[in-house]
Structure 1
Amino acid sequence: MGTWTSRLSELGLTLPPVVPPLAAYQPAVRTGNLVYTAGQLPMVDGELMTRGKVAEGAEGIVSPQEAQAAAKQAALNALAAIDALVGLDSIVRVVKVVGFVASADGFSGQPGVVNGASEVLGEIFGEAGRHARSAVGVNQLPLGAPVEVELIVEVAP
């Protein structure tokens, strides 16, 4: 298959610059053959791509489709943090994705929103991108973000 970096290029995707931490933490940390990312927001050029809680059809609220695109961006931001730490091509497999969705009352479509992250990881890594996952609805996320995504990946020794 080649490298993950070449696969990104084939898909027309590029990793963004690593988002600087908003507080006292590291964007990614390695222990043994695992890399854990900090929660990544859907930042593009230093700004959130959208803000607000996710719901179906409510004015002034982030749609599930917009939130799914934000989850994809957050996953790419997590991959950028991994790339800066150990190199994207050292990834053996995606182990787990945790997605948090700022949800308006009554919204229960968190799994569909977090699919934005899961699907892009599947496109990039194929079978090695199949992972365990949690999709959690929360009241509020940092900066008013609609989603936050964390990754755990296995890397080569």
Structure 2
Amino acid sequence: MSGAPVPQGRYLPATRHGGLIFTSGMTPRAAGVLKVQGPVRAADSPEDWREAVELACANALTAARGQLHGAERITAVVSMTVFVAAEAGFTLHSKLADLASDYLFAELGAAGIGSRAAVGVATLPGGAPVEIQIIAAAG
């Protein structure tokens, strides 16, 4: 993952309050360009969407890391919300969220696993299939 996520509107990729970092919702974009579009179809396997989930998650983690000072690191992912733009009948939202959890575990170890929600929605910005937002602790 190279470079900070490029905002698609009037917002910051992440903000910090004390030791907590809050990211904006991140979609599977690289250099501001949406790389994968949805919606997730009822018959799709979660694996079909691994690239999209990992890119969105990488963007969220990059945005969070952009708020670190000096030798600080992410000490915990406190919470993660995974929004899935899925057609009616898709019920594996939590399996897509598992892909994001797997990515964070690979990057941060046990500190990458916190509470989470997987939420189905009708649409997401730009036609993205997933959007991921995290709250992280820094130290």
TM-score by length of 1: 0.81
| Paired residues of 2:8 and 2:32 also in contact (CA < 8 A) | no
| Paired residues of 2:36 and 2:52 also in contact (CA < 8 A) | yes
Relative CO higher for 1 or 2, CA cutoff 8 Å, sep ≥ 6? 2
RMSD: 1.7
2:105 alignment partner in structure 1: 122
1:154 alignment partner in structure 2: 137
- Measured after TM superposition, the shift of residue 56 of structure 1 is 3.8
User: Which residues in structure 2 correspond to 1:86-125 (within 5 Å)?
Assistant: 86=68, 89-125=72-108
Residue type of the partner of 2:23?
Answer: T
Q: Deviations over 1:58-117 (max 9, x none)?
A: xxxx75323232111111111111222216952111111100000101111111112221
Cα distance between partner residues in 1 of 2:45 and 2:51 = 10
Matched, 1:82 2:64: yes
Q: What percentage of aligned pairs have identical amino acids?
A: 36
Matched, 1:41 2:27: yes
Q: Secondary structure at the match of 1:75?
A: helix
Higher relative helix content = 1
| Paired residues of 2:53 and 2:96 also in contact (CA < 8 A) | yes
Q: Deviations over 1:18-70 (max 9, x none)?
A: 1211111110000011000000000124322211211243xxxx753232321
Alignment equivalent of 2:120, drawn from 137, 140, 143: 137
Q: Secondary structure at the match of 1:101?
A: strand
State which structure, 1 or 2, has the greater radius of gyration over its C-alpha atoms.
1
With 79-88 and 38-47 compared, the bigger mean Cα shift is at: 79-88
Unaligned 5+ segments in structure 2 are: none
| Paired residues of 2:42 and 2:91 also in contact (CA < 8 A) | no
TM-score by length of 2: 0.90
